[in-house]
Structure 1
Amino acid sequence: MANYKFNVETLYEKTDNGLDIIKKYLDNCDGFSKALENDKNAFRYRDTDKSASCYLVKNDKGLKGSIGVNYWRVKDFGGDFFTPIGIAMEQSGLDFYPCLKMLYEWFNLDGNNTFFTATVEITTIDDKDKRPLDWFNVVTKEHTQLDIIGTYITPELAKEYDFFSVEYYEKIFINKKTNQKNHIKVSATESFPIFCYMPEKTWCKTYAPFSKDKSFKHGYLGKKPVRHVYGLQKIINKYNSKIDDFNKQIKKSKDDKTTNRLIDERDAYKIPNCIVASGGTDGLNVASLEYDLIWYNSESEQINYAEYSQLKEICKNIYNLPDIDEQGIKYGYEVAEKFWNMKSIWLPKEKLGTNGKDFRDWMKFYKKADLSAVKFQFGNLLTGALKMKFFEKNEKSKRWSIKTSYLHYFLKIKGFHLYYPEKKYTEKTGVQEFIFIRINEHIVEQYFPNDIRKFSEMYLIEKGQPIDVIDLVKNTEQFNEPKLLSMDKIVLDFKNFTEETQTFFYKNQFATISKDGIELKPYKDLKNYVWDYRIVNKNIFAEKQSFRHYKDDNCNDRVEILQKDCDFMNYLINGSRMSWRKELEEPFGDFSNNKELKEAKQKYHNENRFNLSAECLTESERLIQEKHFLNKCFGIGYLLHRYKIESFAKFIYIMDDAPKESEEDSNGRSGKSVLLNGIDKLLNNHYYINGKSKNITTNSHLLDGFTKENDYLRIEDIDQYLGVEFFYNWVTGPISVNPKTKKPYNVEFHDAGKMAATSNFGIGKINQSTLGRLFFISFSDYYHVKTDKYNEERKISHDFNNKDLFSSYWDEKQWNKFYYFLMECCQLYLSNRDNELQAPQTNIHLTNIQASMGENFMNWCDSYFTLSMIDEDSATKEIVHGTLNRFLLRDEVQKAYTSHAGEKYKKTATNFKKSLGEYCKMKGWTFNPVEYLSADKKTIKKPHTNEKGNRNILEFFYVRTNEIEVTIPEQKELQLGERPDDLPF
């Protein structure tokens, strides 16, 4: 790379390999936007080109003359390549080095930024200078750069509209730092021209087209008027007096023939067309086409009734010419609705370039064309101009009729469109599905033809239109579906999330959550769209922070509960109280039949109804409960954020924390499903699967109707024998849908919602693949039914005055706290994606071990594994050998289990050994102590002689306990011919 301050290599490197330079100069060329989409599309480099013959050439494309070229170019078919710097030199008229320097500053590559700046001199003036703060002086010069404003603007035309080139201007102002009067002189340069509008001597508006700072692009000197209509006085001076003369003569006329003649003459004298432009540069470009026009100081300043009436006196037709960016369309629609007889000229996007928005951009498209051709093209735009008043009366027949184009324009302004759902989930070869919609502040609602007809009818009634017009709307076929199909269709983006944010919608405003906080905004600030049925039917307002997540001195994740009046958060707190018995039962002994103890227990419970950190708990117990609470909040936040990360794709698995004593003891009633019920209030379009359905794994249409519109996939109450591995592909890949009577399709990974399930059982098959996909949330048995295991029943409603969560007893404040808390959970997740807040795994792991082994196996182990003991009832006090702390022949152990379990529950050799190891872990025993392992460090191999005297090396198991058992003779290695009488089989 060259070491010069300004060099082409660096320029190209910083401008997308020169593509940004090409776009800057050729953006308005015919067909250029399509060439950007596909470099096989040709475009017209010059307006004089009879056909499109130029192509964009990608860097290092395999063409002759392209190998090794690392920047974009333009190729003229059959001709040469045009480099980005070459195009800039041709278009700007600058030589190489000045052009290079100009491009550096244009793309902010030069730290000095002196090319596109004015010369500024500031001096402090003393108190003797009596010039007031609104004093200014402008020195103008001859026009030399009007082509910057527009191709056909002449000095004479500029003068007509009080538009001047500025040599310099000066004014007095107060320096805010020193609080002293300062004088500033701002001089234009060749690379930084300054213009001004100066219709009066008391003020002027400056315009610096090359200013990088938008706040300095337009400025005012002197006393800015409250309202000024540029060009209006010119029109009045030219036409008003003559029109007034006609009106006076018409008023004095005493016969109809003379009156009609004068009216015809007056109308013939009126201005044919008057254009309301969106700004000064647009206005001057319109004037260069020999049209009368007006404009205002800003786009948001619109024509009022007085000005409209004044123009109607002297103009036949008034047209509005708005910009076509978002704000321009908004203001354009407002004018069209306010003056529904005024036509609007809408510029075609394909002739404005990639970032074009106004009339000057449209003129750039024809910058090389003949003026008469441009006039002709603009005349066509006037011919196709639209107005909101969609009906008219034939003066001869006196009959009313509807103009289809005006009707559809009226409907478009009122937010009606034709919308085609995404083709991905419909038959591509069949009839394309469509619906009619209405958009109001980015909220989308489906309408049917009769709804649209009724809407239009009511609008006209409010407008005070005659009954004949109302009947016309009632009876016309224009509102039938086939007629409405020619309405403008629209493509909408309903995406409500990014990698870093999630947005939710409420009645009064929407909320955007990021790791930094929750931001509430009005719907006018919404950029994407939302279906009306996706809006929560509640208002939302800011709340105080409910909880605070922090790290303690030992880097443990902890929580501080800041508010105590959010019912849903309190339910999650109690669902995280793993040591509730230590608080609510153990201190009060047998309280069931003791009134005093029962009252003391109730008093304590009332005072500590929602408490994670009771004083009677150890620090370790408090930490465990706080981690469980944070884990639930993190899991909720994960589900609420629709963005999916491939490296963190999780299946939320909600289970009971308390280990089961048997398979029949499925726990339940601990409140697991209520967590998802709460999420459903915010994610109101989930896809539901009954986890106890017997045909889940065999139903090929299980996901019929599932699309990317579903917020998440909820599997309720997973059956004990349904392996979660069935869902693995759904977690980490696309989800295949096989709808009935339709073609199958895939919902891609990033489009598909996340997954969550509840279950009363642990995971039977635990491996690395499973652990990598599952995110466990476990609930304590604080909530439970009364059984032999529990002294009393405790429902969720018991903690809330016997009222259910989400029920009608919740007032607006409680609903607000609930939704705000959910969004805080989403914020917690977004701010901790690199700090997965897992639940303490001890009981989860134990439950999963139990599920993995199976109750049948555990029951067998409980009876099979025993310690050696002395038979005290025998006369000889003989030793009865147990199976613990001894070498056991593996084959005989497994045969013993299989004989007990039968074919239904038998295990493979690998699974049997794994289950036995897990059982030992659960009991706190050591399976196959390391000192007994053979050379492979995996198994215990010892010589063994069978009943037939055959001696082999076989595998043994050894289960060692930590208990002291009866002393028995040392176990000797079996010798040839000896029987294994000391073995328990």
Structure 2
Amino acid sequence: MVENVNGSFYKIAPNNGGAKVIIEKTKLLTFWESLGYRKLILKSGKYELVKVTNNSIVEIVEDYRLAGEVRNHLESLNHQIVFEEFLKKDYASNSLIKNLKGIEITFNNGNSKEAQFFYKNGVVKISSERYSIISYVEFEGYVWKHQIIDRDFNPSSEYGSAEFAIFVKNLAGKNLERYRSLRSIIGYLLHSYKDPVNSPAIILLDEDMDLNQEEAKGGKGKSLLAKGIGKIVPYYFKEGKNFSKNFLFSGLEKHHKVIFLDDVKKDFDFEILYAIITGDFSFEKKFKNEEVIPFPESPKMLISSNYMVSGVRGYSEERRKVEFEISSYYGRHLTPIQDFGHRLFDDWDEMEWRKFDSFMIICCREYLRDGLIKPKSINLLDNKLKTDTDPKFVEFMDEEIKEDCRIDKKEFLNKFKEKYNPEFCGLSPNLFSKWLSIWADFKAYQSDHKKSNGKQYFEIVIKK
């Protein structure tokens, strides 16, 4: 005989020798909400199904999870008959899910004076002077579940001897000033807060870049440095050689805090990233509508290249990027595996991870204290000049111009073509004039284009 049963969201009642199951939709919604399921309302007005745990941890979930929760609950009570009824009418449909309690979440990415890292055992809050750890229940705000590092935070005072710290110092050529700059760059990338005025892309280049080489040399440790960043904050990896304008970041998720474009090629146009760096992050996924991540929650940009990364010359470009030249400490002659005797990250014990975590926190603290420290150029400025013109043109100008002068541009162009014939036989007078101005600006010389008696001249005054 079937007895009357009143479950959390259903009733089982006798019915002509059998049983009748009634599922109450409002109570079913309350059941799911008691487990933390919510309707996350997006800026577009649409929504995503999420689950919130510990008052602060947010995870985007698929609707099948709702059916799974119902099944587990009913099996624990031996009420499979109710699940049969649940399946008949597909209660976990969009028409019901859209009636879950809606929430609008502002994710806590810190601010200009405070950062936080998310570990299994709590939230590490960091300022320029100290750090502390609190539970997720105490944390004010929300964090994506995928931002949580899959290890406990246990600080070590021996962070200076961390293998990753030594590796970073080697990338800076063991130069203390450059090492300090690179630590600030690491801290900047780790801190998810985005300053609306100054949140540039970080570009890692080779110190010994040879622009005359057709094939650039790599293996300097740039990708391994980015991997270290990804051990603290979730990053989205994209191969630069496959970078195209269609579905630029189709694999990006909302929890990603850094985008790493690895090994972008010689023809990469930095200008296509301008809108992403300075505003809301719009991206498309295949077979889905465009998604938008608001600027404060959008990822920072990290780029590595064996070539110069160029866009439109001038202040508008320079304020959008910080370039760091990686030393030639590593390369074909020496790899990090050979240097340390094992693979970084993969072969570490618990103590090495503790030192790594502590070093990364120190980098973030230094960034909060000192800001983003731009490194001094080694070969960067010279390489920019050669990229914006041509290495042979720079060589020609450095040989020809030693003092104040007034040159006939047509005669000077012919002289250049004769010297490097036939490579520059198609070089136009307009482009040559542009190169002259770029070269003079780089040298900080006074210059001017003038016309006289039907001829065009370029005047150069070398400041003493």
The answer, yes or no, to whether TM exceeds 0.5 is yes
- Residue-by-residue CA offset, 1:62-102 (whole Å, 9 max, x unaligned): xxxxxxxxxxxxxxxxxxxxxxxxxxxxxxxxxxxxxxxxx
Q: 1:402 to 1:819 in 2, by over 3 A?
A: farther
In structure 2, distance between residues paired with 1:630 and 1:889: 48
In structure 2, distance between residues paired with 1:748 and 1:938: 45
In structure 1, distance between residues paired with 2:66 and 2:42: 21
**Cα deviation, residue 441, structure 1:** 5.2
Instruction: Tell me which residue corresponds to 2:165.
Output: 569
**Cα deviation, residue 795, structure 1:** 0.6
- Residue-by-residue CA offset, 1:250-283 (whole Å, 9 max, x unaligned): xxxxxxxxxxxxxxxxxxxxxxxxxxxxxxxxxx
Instruction: Tell me which residue corresponds to 1:914.
Output: 437
8 Å Cα contact 1:502-1:514 kept in structure 2: yes
> What does 1:343-382 align with in structure 2 at a 5 Å threshold?
none
8 Å Cα contact 2:8-2:31 kept in structure 1: yes
Instruction: Tell me which residue corresponds to 2:373.
Output: 837
> What does 1:168-187 align with in structure 2 at a 5 Å threshold?
none
In structure 2, distance between residues paired with 1:784 and 1:895: 41
> What does 1:796-945 align with in structure 2 at a 5 Å threshold?
796-801=336-341, 803-807=342-346, 809-833=347-371, 836-858=372-394, 860-861=396-397, 865=399, 887=405, 888-898=407-417, 900=421, 901-903=424-426, 908-917=431-440, 921=443, 938-939=447-448
> What does 1:638-717 align with in structure 2 at a 5 Å threshold?
638-660=188-210, 662-664=212-214, 666-686=216-236, 688-693=237-242, 696=244, 699-704=245-250, 709-717=255-263
In structure 1, distance between residues paired with 2:455 and 2:425: 28
In structure 2, give the amino acid aligned to 1:778.
E
8 Å Cα contact 1:849-1:918 kept in structure 2: no
In structure 2, distance between residues paired with 1:707 and 1:520: 27
In structure 2, give the amino acid aligned to 1:645.
D
In structure 1, distance between residues paired with 2:23 and 2:287: 42
In structure 2, give the amino acid aligned to 1:712.
V
Q: 1:740 to 1:627 in 2, by over 3 A?
A: same
Give the one of 775, 788, 794 matched to 2:334. 794
- Residue-by-residue CA offset, 1:201-242 (whole Å, 9 max, x unaligned): xxxxxxxxxxxxxxxxxxxxxxxxxxxxxxxxxxxxxxxxxx
1:456 and 2:73 correspond: yes
Give the one of 132, 138, 141 matched to 1:519. 132
> What does 1:139-178 align with in structure 2 at a 5 Å threshold?
none
Instruction: Tell me which residue corresponds to 1:632.
Output: 182
1:419 and 2:33 correspond: no
8 Å Cα contact 1:783-1:795 kept in structure 2: yes
In structure 2, distance between residues paired with 1:795 and 1:780: 13
Question: What are the ranges of 5 or more consecutive residues in structure 2 without an aligned counterpart?
Answer: none
In structure 2, distance between residues paired with 1:403 and 1:661: 71
In structure 2, distance between residues paired with 1:884 and 1:858: 13
**Cα deviation, residue 650, structure 1:** 0.9
- Residue-by-residue CA offset, 1:340-368 (whole Å, 9 max, x unaligned): x9xxxxxxxxxxxxxxxxxxxxxxxxxxx
In structure 1, give the amino acid aligned to 2:81.
L
8 Å Cα contact 1:734-1:749 kept in structure 2: yes
> What does 1:132-531 align with in structure 2 at a 5 Å threshold?
404=24, 408-413=29-34, 415-420=35-40, 422=42, 424=44, 434-435=48-49, 437=51, 439-440=53-54, 442-445=56-59, 446=61, 448-457=65-74, 459-460=76-77, 469-477=78-86, 481-482=90-91, 485=96, 488-491=100-103, 493=105, 495-499=107-111, 500-531=113-144
8 Å Cα contact 2:447-2:458 kept in structure 1: no
Q: 1:749 to 1:910 in 2, by over 3 A?
A: farther
Instruction: Tell me which residue corresponds to 1:616.
Output: none
**Cα deviation, residue 671, structure 1:** 0.9
- Residue-by-residue CA offset, 1:131-175 (whole Å, 9 max, x unaligned): xxxxxxxxxxxxxxxxxxxxxxxxxxxxxxxxxxxxxxxxxxxxx
Q: 1:885 to 1:841 in 2, by over 3 A?
A: closer
In structure 1, give the amino acid aligned to 2:411.
E
Q: 1:747 to 1:794 in 2, by over 3 A?
A: same
**Cα deviation, residue 915, structure 1:** 4.3
Instruction: Tell me which residue corresponds to 1:588.
Output: none
In structure 1, distance between residues paired with 2:437 and 2:375: 25
Q: 1:528 to 1:649 in 2, by over 3 A?
A: closer
Instruction: Tell me which residue corresponds to 1:955.
Output: 457
In structure 2, distance between residues paired with 1:757 and 1:938: 35
Question: Structure with the greater relative contact order (CA < 8 A, sep ≥ 6): 1 or 2?
Answer: 2
Give the one of 331, 337, 340 matched to 1:784. 331
- Residue-by-residue CA offset, 1:568-599 (whole Å, 9 max, x unaligned): 1111011111xxxxxxxxxxxxxxxxxxxxxx
Q: 1:421 to 1:481 in 2, by over 3 A?
A: farther
- Residue-by-residue CA offset, 1:803-848 (whole Å, 9 max, x unaligned): 22221x1122322332332233222222223xx4111224322232
In structure 1, give the amino acid aligned to 2:412.
V
- Percent identical residues: 21
8 Å Cα contact 1:716-1:758 kept in structure 2: yes
Secondary structure of 1:669's counterpart equals coil
**Cα deviation, residue 861, structure 1:** 4.9
8 Å Cα contact 1:388-1:406 kept in structure 2: no
**Cα deviation, residue 630, structure 1:** 1.6
Q: 1:818 to 1:521 in 2, by over 3 A?
A: same
Secondary structure of 1:448's counterpart equals helix
Farther off after superposition, 632-641 or 891-900: 891-900
8 Å Cα contact 1:660-1:666 kept in structure 2: yes
8 Å Cα contact 2:440-2:447 kept in structure 1: no
In structure 1, distance between residues paired with 2:410 and 2:459: 9
> What does 1:569-648 align with in structure 2 at a 5 Å threshold?
569-577=165-173, 612=174, 625-648=175-198
In structure 2, distance between residues paired with 1:905 and 1:574: 44
In structure 2, distance between residues paired with 1:576 and 1:958: 37
Q: 1:392 to 1:474 in 2, by over 3 A?
A: closer
In structure 2, give the amino acid aligned to 1:508.
N
8 Å Cα contact 2:203-2:302 kept in structure 1: yes
1:727 and 2:273 correspond: yes
- Residue-by-residue CA offset, 1:891-917 (whole Å, 9 max, x unaligned): 311233356413268762442213443
In structure 1, distance between residues paired with 2:199 and 2:56: 31
1:759 and 2:305 correspond: yes
8 Å Cα contact 2:403-2:461 kept in structure 1: yes
**Cα deviation, residue 659, structure 1:** 4.8
- Residue-by-residue CA offset, 1:485-511 (whole Å, 9 max, x unaligned): 367434152613132333332222222
In structure 1, distance between residues paired with 2:451 and 2:203: 44
8 Å Cα contact 1:492-1:528 kept in structure 2: no
**Cα deviation, residue 773, structure 1:** 1.8
8 Å Cα contact 1:511-1:521 kept in structure 2: yes
- Residue-by-residue CA offset, 1:755-786 (whole Å, 9 max, x unaligned): 2211112345642222222112221111122x
8 Å Cα contact 2:40-2:105 kept in structure 1: no
Secondary structure of 2:151's counterpart equals coil
8 Å Cα contact 1:761-1:847 kept in structure 2: no
Larger Rg, first or second structure (1 or 2): 1
Q: 1:889 to 1:906 in 2, by over 3 A?
A: closer
**Cα deviation, residue 918, structure 1:** 6.6
8 Å Cα contact 2:238-2:261 kept in structure 1: yes
8 Å Cα contact 1:628-1:778 kept in structure 2: no
